[in-house]
């Protein structure tokens, strides 16, 4: 599943949000989008998902313009995973996941045996099979996020779009959710996600797209893109970027708070 965004420009009420954004996502790629609040990450996602019309430029899936694709066809190719949220009605985890299979059944019918099997496999896959009959609103935020990923998996789309999947999750859940996402990419899913944590971007993505003022500021492998300058430009914070374990990890250390010229003791790092 390859996605191409060409010269995408979009604005709400004349106020431009996205300006001339172009990038491509190759099959099996895990792309992370970085950018400050309000830069247009969610707007970009809404365009890609076909939820916003009236943009300039072109978005293609497998070289087909998404404006020419119907709602059902889109859902068969792309699944959206929102931030872990509450629903007004408390569905069981199983029912919530089963809803993802709706695109496979006709308008007047409900998911059948095959779909129930898919839902169970997806719960198993995300390691939350024991939550099957719990209420979706009664489990933790991290668990809800995993449920939403399972729901996207049963949709059987090859491309997943995640809007800040780790927002509001504790540290452990962030790592667990991101690891699952990375595994999915290795299994052949094409994934686009947005995040606010540059360190995690470095750990958990194949490529990073940085947005600044509605434009693409940087696009490339995390090793090329992640720099002190990037953090300064995107977030206006002075940091020192430290590379660890032979550049497997990079961390940003904010200057001014941490005395970065202080001699480091190796023993403390271990």
Partner 1 sequence: MITKVVNKMKHTDKGAYIVMNLGILLLLAVFVSFQLGRYPISAKEVFGIVFSKVLPIEKYWADRPEFVFINIRLPRVLLACLVGCCLSTAGAAYQGVFQNPMAAPDILGASAGAAFGAALAILHHGSSTVITLSAFCFSLLTVAIVFFISKKAKGKAVIGLILAGIMVKSLFSAGTSFIKLVADPNDQLPAITFWLLGSLAGAKLSTVAFAVVPMGIGLIPLLLIRWRLNILTLGDDEAKTMGVNARLIRLIVIISATFVTAASVSVSGMIGWVGLVIPHLARKLVGNNYNSLMPASMLLGAIFLLVVDNFSRNLLTTEIPLGIITALVGAPFFICLMTRKGDVY
Separation between Cα atoms, residue 23 and residue 9, nearest integer Å:
13
CB of 252 to partner 1, least distance (A): 33
Q: Which is nearer to partner 1, 74 or 203 (CB)?
A: 74
The DSSP line for the chain is --EEEEEEEEEETTEEEEEEEEEEE-TT-EEEEE--TTSSHHHHHHHHTT-----EEEEEETTEEGGGS-HHHHHHHEEEEPPS---SS--BHHHHHHGGGGGGS-TT----HHHHHHHHHHHHHTT-GGGTTSBGGGS-HHHHHHHHHHHHHHTT-SEEEESSTTTT--HHHHHHHHHHHHHHHHTT-EEEEEES-HHHHHHH-SEEEEEETTEEEEEE-HHHH--HHHHHHHH---EEEEEETTTTEEEEEEBTTB-TTSPPPHHHH-
Closest approach of partner 1 to the CB of residue 223, in Å = 32
From the CB of residue 224, how many other CB atoms can be counted at a distance below 10 Å? 11
Q: Which is nearer to partner 1, 44 or 225 (CB)?
A: 44
Shortest distance in whole angstroms from residue 15 CB to partner 1: 15
Residue closer to partner 1 (CB basis): 105 or 257: 105
Shortest Cβ distance from residue 100 to partner 1 (Å)? 6
Identity of the residue, 116 or 251, whose beta carbon is nearer to partner 1 in the bound complex = 116
Distance CA 118, CA 111 (A): 10
- Tell the smallest beta-carbon distance from residue 7 to partner 1 (Å): 24
- Least distance (Å) from partner 1 to the CB of residue 83? 11
Question: Which residues would be at the binding site for partner 1 (CB under 8 A)?
Answer: 46, 49-51, 71-72, 74-76, 78-80, 82, 87-92, 94-95, 99-100, 102-103, 105, 107-111, 116, 133, 135, 137-138, 155
Question: Which backbone phi and psi does 67 adopt, to 5 degrees?
Answer: -70, -20
Pick 102 or 260: Cβ nearer partner 1: 102
Closer residue to partner 1, CB minimum distance, 41 or 250? 41
Our CB check for partner 1 shows the closer of 111 and 222 to be: 111
């Amino acid at each position: 599943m390859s996605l191409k965004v060409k010269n995408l420009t979009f604005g709400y009420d004349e106020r431009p949000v996205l300006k001339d954004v172009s990038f491509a996502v190759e099959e099996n790629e895990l792309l992370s989008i970085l950018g400050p609040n309000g830069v247009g990450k969610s707007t970009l996602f809404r365009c890609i998902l076909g939820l916003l019309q009236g943009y300039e430029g072109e978005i293609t899936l497998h070289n087909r313009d998404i404006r020419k694709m119907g709602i059902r066809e889109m859902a068969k190719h792309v699944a959206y995973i929102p931030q872990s949220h509450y629903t007004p009605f408390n569905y069981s985890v199983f029912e919530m996941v089963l809803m993802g299979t709706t695109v496979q059944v006709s308008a007047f019918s409900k998911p059948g045996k095959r779909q129930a099997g898919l839902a169970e496999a997806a719960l198993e896959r995300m390691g939350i099979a024991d939550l099957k009959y719990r209420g979706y609103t009664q489990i933790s935020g991290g668990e809800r996020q995993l449920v939403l990923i399972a729901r996207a998996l049963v949709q059987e789309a090859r491309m997943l779009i995640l809007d800040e999947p780790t927002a509001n999750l504790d540290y452990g859940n962030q790592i667990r959710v991101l690891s699952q996402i990375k595994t999915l990419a290795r299994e052949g899913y094409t994934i686009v996600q947005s995040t606010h944590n540059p360190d995690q971007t470095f750990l958990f993505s194949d490529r990073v797209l940085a947005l600044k003022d509605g434009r693409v500021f940087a696009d490339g492998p995390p090793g090329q893109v992640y720099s002190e300058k990037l953090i300064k430009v995107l977030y206006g914070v002075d940091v020192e970027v430290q590379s660890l374990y032979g550049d497997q990890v990079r961390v940003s250390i904010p200057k001014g708070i941490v005395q970065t010229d202080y001699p480091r003791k190796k023993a403390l790092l271990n």
